[in-house]
Structure 1
């Protein structure tokens, strides 16, 4: 049996009861949405604002900006769809936002900015 070379981890799954519950909910909803098109969303969390870019099916970019307040995060959650795959960097507010997105049933990948050089080289 051939062994596979280890690849750098791109995402991080935080195993807490809330995340596991959300992860199961995501898989249930993802099966419902398999026939629809997946869109990728990049999120940059700042102190006062959240910059978001979605790549649409026509490869066009849809840019949005939300505040980091509860109402801003709720607006972000309303804007996201179950077919989105969201990537955001690990930071002070990222895990709070990632948890909210997971609770909606949207897939989230939290990226460690310290690993970007490793990811870039692979």
Structure 2
């Protein structure tokens, strides 16, 4: 069983502005409404592991599987038999950036849990854009 979601937005912010927020895990709770806090062991690089505390006090361990500085990162959250991959990509455009976030949930109950996992994605993208453009929320 699996579930997939993809969201794309455009912004006048540069890829560097977006990357600065993505690579600062301490800021994730500011733009992602499902995250309370994040702790990362080591630098924002492939193989780094950490814990996201989600709303409701749920601790979700994660690993950065792919990190392409300034362009893309893929994190994997494992909760029991459920595996959640969230792929974040930013590309330069003539007027700023295009940001795409893809969520893939696999494992037992993925079709039921996936929509809950992705529910805040549009809000998170909107808040990320506001912060990257340095606009008040």
TM-score (ref. length: structure 1): 0.31
Larger helix proportion of the pair: 1
Counting strand residues as a fraction of each chain, which structure ranks higher? 2
Which structure has the larger Rg?
A: 1
